[in-house]
């Protein structure tokens, strides 16, 4: 168990990933995550912080030391842990989620968001149609 306030202060370097340096799907820079896990001051995205928190927790770091290292509230780390370390990446324009965010904020959705939302709806309708109506040769 790691008891130091900085989990990276023991002899062994902590690794975020031994195969990848970047996750394009989740937008995670493993090199940055690894540097923070080892005590370097690097700005991380929220998703990267949650990834670092999960890895540090798995290595026995306390919630307090994780929160200190990542500069987040202990309550935030506790919540991440309780929800299986899932952090929603902030929505970006061009995603259906962002279309809903625009509407929620009372903004006029931009073209990219409208297109993404329309495409999602079209796919949902097509999927629904496929499961509710039998095909011609069924």
Helix (H/G/I), strand (E/B), else coil: 22: strand
Q: Which is nearer to Zn ion, 23 or 95 (CB)?
A: 95
Residues within the interface to Zn ion (CB under 5 A): 93, 98, 110, 113
Minimum distance of Zn ion from residue 118's CB (angstroms)? 13
Q: Which is nearer to Zn ion, 8 or 96 (CB)?
A: 96
Minimum distance of Zn ion from residue 104's CB (angstroms)? 12
Q: Which is nearer to Zn ion, 33 or 98 (CB)?
A: 98
């Amino acid at each position: 168990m790691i008891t130091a306030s900085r989990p990276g202060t023991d002899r062994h370097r902590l690794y975020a990933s031994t195969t990848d340096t970047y996750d394009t799907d989740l937008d995670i820079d493993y090199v940055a995550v690894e540097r923070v896990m080892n005590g370097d001051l690097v700005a991380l995205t929220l998703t990267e912080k949650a990834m670092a928190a999960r890895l540090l927790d798995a290595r026995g770091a306390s919630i307090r030391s994780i929160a200190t290292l990542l500069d987040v509230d202990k309550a935030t780390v506790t919540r991440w842990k309780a929800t299986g370390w899932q952090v929603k990446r902030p929505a970006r324009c061009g995603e259906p989620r962002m279309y809903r965010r625009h509407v929620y904020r009372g903004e006029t959705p931009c073209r990219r968001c409208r297109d993404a939302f329309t495409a999602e709806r079209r796919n949902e309708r097509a999927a629904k149609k496929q499961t509710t109506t039998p095909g011609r040769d069924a």
